Amino acid sequence: MTAISPNPGADVVDLGRARGPRTRMSAGQRRAQLVEVAVALFADRGYEGTSVEEIAAHAGVSKPVVYEHFGGKEGLYAVVVDREMQTLLERVTAALQSEGHPRTVLERAALALLDYIEESTDGFRILVRDSPVAQSTGTFASLISDAAGQVEHILAHEFTSRGLDDDYAPMYAQMLVGMVALTGQWWLDARHPDKSVVAAHLVNLAWNGLSSLEENPALGLGGAR
């Protein structure tokens, strides 16, 4: 997680003295800077714990600049979440739509999620928090649902080829994607073992479980099966 100074105002002054006259940013550069500052603050302190004053101070601008670009904290938060959701969805979608053996596709998808967590830790931390703001791209739960919809097609094909009922593919897709997503949330802080090892074990459980599915599973409560 990006470290946040307890005295942002002092940091701005020190940076200004060290670097001399401030270079004027274009509107696009300023907007991008504010987004990056907000990502670090929202990840560290959450939506409620972050103020427009802090965002402005860390960016070295006045509060009106934040309002000018985003209309306020809620608008800025929405932009941050939309960007992170889109980035993660694009990565996972690309992996799921790649060619190859279904097991290889699952490996790529698991690694895509873990890669994102490793490279965009602050972004993922924001996504998995309960957002107090409605986003145009939805929530992390909706992202999981989107991914499950793509996995569903892979599983339906596998079920059919194995003589299993593909009506259950949507349910298994939710189980599979949910398992990967929850493991990703755990690895966000654990960071051990290495992501390639985590992905390998995820696929080991998922694929070998799928490979040994019973045609008509039933609960065996009360005794071994």
What is the DSSP secondary-structure string of 178-223?
HHHHHHHHHHHHH--S-HHHHHHHHHHHHHHHHHT--SS----TTS
Q: What is the pLDDT of residue 1?
A: 58
Nearest 10 degrees: Cα torsion 107, 202, 158, 87? -50
* Residue that wins the pLDDT comparison between 11 and 146: 146
147-199 pLDDT per residue, tens: 999 999 889 998 999 899 999 999 999 999 999 999 999 999 999 999 999 99
In this prediction the pTM is 0.82
Chain mean position to CA 158: 27
Domains of the chain listed by start with CATH number: 8-71 (1.10.10.60), 81-211 (1.10.357.10)
Q: How far apart are CA 52 and CA 67, in angstroms?
A: 9
Helices (H), the chain: 8-19, 27-45, 52-59, 63-70, 73-96, 102-119, 121-127, 140-161, 169-190, 195-211
Q: Beta-carbon neighbour count of residue 173 at 10 Å? A: 21
75-113 pLDDT per residue, tens: 999 999 999 999 999 999 999 999 999 999 999 999 999
Task: Write the CA distances from 10 to 13, 35, 44, 57, integer angstroms.
Answer: 5, 21, 19, 9
In this predicted structure, the answer to whether residue 17 has a pLDDT above a threshold of 90 is no
Residue range 65-77: mean pLDDT, rounded: 96
Q: How far apart are CA 100 and CA 63, in angstroms?
A: 51
